[in-house]
Amino acid sequence: MSSTSDPQPMRWVKSTYSGGEGQCIEWAPDHAHATGAFLVRDSKDSDGPNLTLTREGFAGLVEFAKHHG
């Protein structure tokens, strides 16, 4: 008899660079660690689409947020 286990829901983390005006993004660090693909989404729309970035693209987004946030 085989058992099936439900996959664990993806863990999303709110960016520390997000402003307090409700303009927040979240990313999935466990997914990035496991696959190398950095998923980013709008924190206000958790069922909406997400953006997949490379490591370099994600680093660029973080740098942009540091200087323009």
**Is residue 7 included in any domain, yes or no?**
no
What band does 32 get if pLDDT is binned at 50, 70 and 90? very high
**Is residue 40 included in any domain, yes or no?**
yes
Inform me whether the pLDDT recorded for 31 exceeds 60: yes
**Is residue 46 included in any domain, yes or no?**
yes
pTM of the model: 0.75
**Is residue 2 included in any domain, yes or no?**
no
Inform me whether the pLDDT recorded for 66 exceeds 90: no
**Is residue 13 included in any domain, yes or no?**
no
8 Å CB contact between 12 and 31? no
**Is residue 10 included in any domain, yes or no?**
no
For residue 62, the enclosing domain spans 23-68
Number of domains in the chain: 1
Nearest to 27 by CA among 17, 13, 16: 13
